[in-house]
Structure 1
Amino acid sequence: MSVWLLILFAFLALLGIPLSLSLGLAAVTTLWWFDLPLSMVTQAMATSINSFLLIAVPLFILAGQIMERGGLSERIFDAAEVAVGRFRGGLGHVNIASSFVFGGISGSSVADIASLGPISIRAMTTRGYPLPYSAALTLITATLATLVPPSILIIVAAASAGQSVGAALAGGLGPGLLLALALAAYNAFAARRHGYGTLSQFDYRKSLRSLLRAIPSVGAPVIILTGMFSGIVTPTEAAGLAVLYTLLVAIVVHREMGWRDLVPLIIRAGQTAGSVLLILMVANIATYVFTVDLLPQKTTGLLGTIASSPFATLLLMGVVFLIVGMLMDIVAAALMLIPVLMPAAVNANVDPLHFLIFMVASLAVGLASPPVGTCLFATAQVSKVPVEKLVVAALPFYAVNICILVLLAAFPSIVLAPAAWLTAS
């Protein structure tokens, strides 16, 4: 039954039918073919989005779009340049730092590329970095938004898995920091070895002016994350706070957008969030089919005969996550894989939160990988670098990502320690 659903889904997707529609048609056809109640379609779809937490998804998307339109992204980049831009490889570090901060507001990798991508690539190439290298670094740093709270994928995955969204968001902070530091280390090595970038003199007045201009923008993630992890606000309330704060800064402080500009942004945010939530709805129908077919139990038994430890289990699952993430939308991938593989992971003594964040980190690589990586094609469009050249330039960064995934599989504390500390404080 499950195999029939997956084959039909793959066939429809290869025909070019949107993933949400392909998955929905495959699930409904499977229900009809095996004489299962079709009433489960509406029931599963309605149940999947009947959650106050999911309101955070469109709100964080809207906050990211306000940042892009209101000039907050550019000021975040300028502030990061003041901090580390004058060192060898500094603009590469600026690229990483600004993406990390931006991800702490928008939770969207594609939004990161759309807003910060052109700024980062133009600044790096002007300072002597090769265009393919600049584009590749921008591509990989954009995936930080998938790990750094408030990651939209983590919110959706945690809600689907029945886990604490706050703990899951906190759990993504450790891997996000580790990946950012690893990328910075490689960037410093590459810049020194190949002579990338030019050194500039420190201008005290210019630096002070850039920092003062950026304070309202940089304050957004500080206020949002502090409020969320201190327990003052829930993730959904933090999303509303993000919209209000970024809107206030964009309209009142920076004055780079007006109230009339808000309507198109709301429409775009609704369209983007709608596509994410539609996948969540139809994936819940597929989850029902998997449950009836006892697929989680079958998978648990199979993995139990192959992997003998939590580390080996996660490594084996990581291969699956990487392959699936390269072939389909990562939100759809997460929602299909959670009900199938999470019980097997728990049976192998893997903490559910550790499993979720490891899955998200693995799938995030798919955002930057061929053949369907959303961030890959967005970066190619922004940078005007052909996809094949961009992939070749990004190979060292893919290697860095794989090393981080191995560390995440081996050391659960990278995920669990920040989650325990931040949710308890």
Structure 2
Amino acid sequence: MSLTLLGIFAALAVLGIPLSVSLGLGTVAAMYLHDLPLAMLMQSLATSINSFLLIAVPLFIFAGQIMERGGLSERIFDAAEAMVGRFRGGLGHVNILSSFVFGGISGSSVADIASLGPITIRSMTSRGYPRPYSAALTLITATLATLVPPSILIIVAAAASGQSVGGALAGGLGPGVLLAFSLAVYNYIVSRRRSYGTIVEFNAAASMRSVLRAMPSIGAPVIILTGMFSGIVTPTEAAGLAVLYTLLVAGLLHREMGWRDVLELAIRSGQLAGTVLVILMMASAATFVFTVDLLPQKAAGLLSFASGSSFVTLLLMGVVFLIVGMLMDIVAAALMLIPVLMPAAIGAGVDPMHFLIFMVTCLAIGLASPPVGTCLFATAHVSGVPTERLVVATLPFYAINFVVLILVAAIPQIVLWPMQILTQ
């Protein structure tokens, strides 16, 4: 039954049918051919998105859109440059830091590329960094938004798996900080050896002006994260606060947006969120088929035969995550893999939160990898670097990602410590 579903899904996806439609048709065909009641399909579709938590998805997307249009992202970049731009490889560090902060508001790697990408690439190339290197670093730093709170993928994955959304978001901080630190170390070493960039004399007054100018923009992630992890607000309420705060800053303080812009961005955010939620609905129906077919138990049996420890189990799953993440939309990938592999991981002694965040860390690489990496093609577009050349320039950063993956798999506390500290 599961093979029927997956076979039809793969065939339709190869033909270019949208993933949500392919998955839905595969599910309907499998249920019909194996005499499962189709009424269960409608029930599954309806209950899958009947969740207060999922309202956070369109709201965080909306907040990211407002930041892009309202000038908040540009001010975040200027503030980051004021703090670390004067060091060797400084603009590379600015790239990393600004993506980390922006990801703490938008939760979307694609939004990071669209808003910060043109700014960072233009600034780095004007200061003596090769364009392919600038584009490659921008591509990889954008994936931080998929790891750091309030990651949209983590929200969807946690809601679909029945885990604490707040706990999962806190768990993503560990791999996010580790990846950002690793990228900063590599950027410093390469910039020093190859004399990338120019050393700019520190101007305390100008730096202070840039930081003060960006304080309202930087206040958004502070309010969001403090509110969520202190328990004052839920992730959904934090998303609503993010929209309200960014609207006030962009419209009243910066005065770079009007009401027509708000309506346009609301429609665009609804369209983007709709694609995520439709995939969630179809994946929920597919999960019903997998459960009836006992696919999770079969996967658990196979993995218990092939591995002898939780670390080896995660590494084997990591290979699956990487391959699937390179071939399909990462939200669809997560929603299909969770019901199949999560029970097997738990059976092997892996903490469910550790499994979720490790999976997200793997899938984030798919955003930056061929053949269907959304961020890869978006970066090639905004940078003007051909995709093939961009992939070659990104190879060292892929290697850094793989090292981070191994560390996350081997040391569960990278995920669990932030979760325990921030959600107490």
Tell me which interval the TM-score lies in, with the shorter structure as reference length: over 0.9
Does 2:372 correspond to 1:390?
A: no
Cα distance in 1 between the residues matched to 2:45 and 2:331: 16
Cα distance in 2 between the residues matched to 1:173 and 1:98: 15
- Alignment partner, residue 245 of structure 2: 245
Letter in 2 for 1:384: G
Letter in 2 for 1:211: V
Matches within 5 A, 1:309-348: 309-348=309-348
- Alignment partner, residue 62 of structure 2: 62
Does 2:257 correspond to 1:257?
A: yes
- Alignment partner, residue 361 of structure 2: 361
Post-superposition CA distance 1:132-178 (Å, at most 9, x none): 00000000000000000000000000000000000000000111000
Cα distance in 1 between the residues matched to 2:288 and 2:223: 39
- Alignment partner, residue 111 of structure 1: 111
Post-superposition CA distance 1:159-201 (Å, at most 9, x none): 0000000000000011100000000011011101111101111
Cα distance in 2 between the residues matched to 1:279 and 1:351: 26
Cα distance in 2 between the residues matched to 1:300 and 1:225: 36
- Alignment partner, residue 370 of structure 2: 370
Cα distance in 2 between the residues matched to 1:168 and 1:279: 21
- Alignment partner, residue 11 of structure 1: 11
* Cα RMSD after superposing both structures: 0.5
Matches within 5 A, 1:6-405: 6-405=6-405
Post-superposition CA distance 1:241-297 (Å, at most 9, x none): 000000000011111111221000000000000000000000011101100100000
Give the length in aligned residue pairs. Answer: 424
Cα distance in 2 between the residues matched to 1:183 and 1:202: 23
Letter in 1 for 2:43: Q
Cα distance in 1 between the residues matched to 2:383 and 2:362: 25
Cα distance in 1 between the residues matched to 2:188 and 2:8: 47
- Alignment partner, residue 420 of structure 1: 420
**1:206 deviation in Å?**
1.6
Post-superposition CA distance 1:84-116 (Å, at most 9, x none): 001110000000000000000000000000000
Cα distance in 1 between the residues matched to 2:162 and 2:111: 27
SS at match of 1:91: helix
Identity, in percent, stands at: 76
5+ unaligned residues in a row in structure 2: which ranges?
Answer: none
SS at match of 1:172: helix
5+ unaligned residues in a row in structure 1: which ranges?
Answer: none
Letter in 2 for 1:73: S
Letter in 1 for 2:382: V
SS at match of 1:143: helix
SS at match of 2:423: helix
Cα distance in 2 between the residues matched to 1:422 and 1:365: 26
Cα distance in 1 between the residues matched to 2:381 and 2:260: 28
**1:19 deviation in Å?**
0.4
TM-score by length of 2: 1.00
Cα distance in 1 between the residues matched to 2:319 and 2:303: 13
Cα distance in 2 between the residues matched to 1:171 and 1:184: 21
**1:69 deviation in Å?**
0.3
Cα distance in 1 between the residues matched to 2:211 and 2:255: 18
Post-superposition CA distance 1:201-238 (Å, at most 9, x none): 11222211111110000111011100110000000000
Letter in 1 for 2:299: T
Letter in 2 for 1:144: L
Cα distance in 1 between the residues matched to 2:331 and 2:360: 9
Letter in 2 for 1:4: T
TM-score by length of 1: 0.99
Does 2:409 correspond to 1:409?
A: yes
Cα distance in 1 between the residues matched to 2:309 and 2:352: 15
Letter in 1 for 2:127: R
**1:41 deviation in Å?**
1.4
Cα distance in 1 between the residues matched to 2:407 and 2:202: 37
Cα distance in 2 between the residues matched to 1:191 and 1:8: 49
Letter in 2 for 1:102: F
Cα distance in 1 between the residues matched to 2:208 and 2:289: 59
Cα distance in 1 between the residues matched to 2:59 and 2:131: 34
Cα distance in 2 between the residues matched to 1:348 and 1:404: 22
Cα distance in 2 between the residues matched to 1:40 and 1:369: 36
Letter in 2 for 1:195: S
Cα distance in 1 between the residues matched to 2:207 and 2:171: 34
Cα distance in 2 between the residues matched to 1:245 and 1:259: 15
Letter in 2 for 1:7: G
Post-superposition CA distance 1:45-101 (Å, at most 9, x none): 111001000000000000000000000000000000001001110000000000000
Cα distance in 2 between the residues matched to 1:179 and 1:354: 16
